[in-house]
Amino acid sequence: MSRRGWLALGVTALAALAAVPLVVRRDDVLNFLFLVLLSVALAQSWNVVAGYAGQINLGHAAFFGLGALVTRTLWIAEWPVLAGAALGALAATAFALLVGAVAFRLRGAYFAIGTLALGEILRITVGNVLPEVSTLPTATIGAYRLADRYYFALALAAVAVGVVAALERSRAGLGMQAVREDEEAAEASGVGTLRLKLLALVLSTALAGLAGGLFAYYHISYYPAHPFGPHWTFDALLITFIGGVGTVHGPVLGAIFYVFLKEYLAIRWVDFHLLIFGALFITIVLLLPGGLVEAAARLRTLARRAC
C-alpha cells in the first residue's frame, strides 16, 4: 500500500473508533476496545526500542509502572490527569536515560538482563513501600466516565502508531535499524550508535510512561506494584512478535489478535492461557519470525501465484 493509502486507512480507523462511544452504549465493548488501544500503545512503545533499535528491553514494565505511579499520585493530589501523565512520562524517561547511559556502554546481553533485573527490583520495592491498594476518592468515582478513558486511550494509541510511522521513514529510524542489524558496521558507516540507542529508549519509555498514566486513570482501584509486574513486558513483547517486530502495523494487528484471544481464553481456560501463549510465541519465533505481517505477505504471494 502507498503512503497515502496507509494515511487514509489510519484516518478512517481513527474516525470510526472516535465515533464508537457515541453509537455503542455498551461498557463491555468500550472496555474491550480500551484494552486493545492500551495494548497497541504499550506494544508500539516496546517496538521502538526493540523492534527498531534492536535493544531487547525486558524491564519495560518498570517504565509503565513509573508512569502509573506518578500519574496516580498527582491525580489524587488533584492535578489535571494529563499533566500528571506528562510528568509520569518524564519520570519514566529520566529513569531510562540513567539506565541507558550505563547499560548501553556494555555490549551484548547486558541491556536485556539489566532491564529485567531492574524491573523486578522496582516492582518489589514499590510493593514494600506501598503495600496498600490505591483507590480513587469517592467523588472521583462518582464522576467516572468510561468514554473519557476510551478517548485518552485512542489518542495515545494514535500517537504511538504515528511516532513509529514517522520513525520508519526518518533518518533516525534508518540509523536505528542499522544499529539493530550490526552495531559495529553501523558505527563504521558513521552512525552514532549510543545516541540513537538513547533516542530510541527515550521515545519508547515516554510512550510507556504515558500508557502507565492511562492505566492509572482507568482503574478505580489497584495495587501500586501491579503495573510494575513483568507480565506487562511480556504482553508488549508477545504482541509485537505476534504482529511483526520492527513494523508499523504489526503491533496493531498483534494487539487486536492478542487481546481478543486472551479475553476469550481467560473465560474458557483460565489456567491454560499462559501455556497457550507460550506455545504460540515459540511457534511464531521458529516458523514465522515476521509475525502476522509476514504471514499476510506470504498469503498475498500465494494468492498471486494461484491466479
Report the interface residues with other proteins, using CB under 8 A. 170-171, 174-175, 177-178, 180-182, 184-193, 246
In this complex, which beta carbon is closest to other proteins, that of residue 74 or of residue 103?
103
Rounded least distance, CB 43 to other proteins, Å: 20
Which residue's C-alpha cell is 479475553? 263
Residue 248's φ and ψ, nearest 5 degrees, are -80, -45
In this complex, which beta carbon is closest to other proteins, that of residue 74 or of residue 284?
284
Tell me the C-alpha to C-alpha distance, in Å, between residue 30 and each of 34, 37, 116, 148, 243: 6, 10, 33, 11, 23
In this complex, which beta carbon is closest to other proteins, that of residue 71 or of residue 177?
177
Rounded least distance, CB 184 to other proteins, Å: 7
In this complex, which beta carbon is closest to other proteins, that of residue 177 or of residue 233?
177
Rounded least distance, CB 253 to other proteins, Å: 20
Rounded least distance, CB 207 to other proteins, Å: 23
In this complex, which beta carbon is closest to other proteins, that of residue 231 or of residue 298?
298
Rounded least distance, CB 96 to other proteins, Å: 22
**Which residues lie below 8 Å from residue 171, measured CB to CB, with a gap of 6+?**
none
Which residue's C-alpha cell is 535493544? 55
In this complex, which beta carbon is closest to other proteins, that of residue 73 or of residue 193?
193
CA nearest 14: which of 37, 44, 48, 42? Answer: 37
Rounded least distance, CB 186 to other proteins, Å: 7
CA nearest 246: which of 163, 191, 164? Answer: 164
Measured distance CA(32)–CA(279) in Å, rounded: 24
Work out the number of other CB atoms within 10 angstroms of the CB of residue 165: 18
In this complex, which beta carbon is closest to other proteins, that of residue 130 or of residue 172?
172
| Grid cell in block for residue 289 | 519470525
Rounded least distance, CB 165 to other proteins, Å: 15
Rounded least distance, CB 201 to other proteins, Å: 18
Measured distance CA(93)–CA(96) in Å, rounded: 5
Report yes or no: 43 and 270 within 8 Å, Cβ to Cβ: no
| 270-289 burial: b if 16+ Cβ within 10 Å, else e | eeebeeebeebeeebeeebe
In this complex, which beta carbon is closest to other proteins, that of residue 120 or of residue 187?
187
Helix, strand, coil distribution of the chain in percent, nearest 5: 80, 0, 20
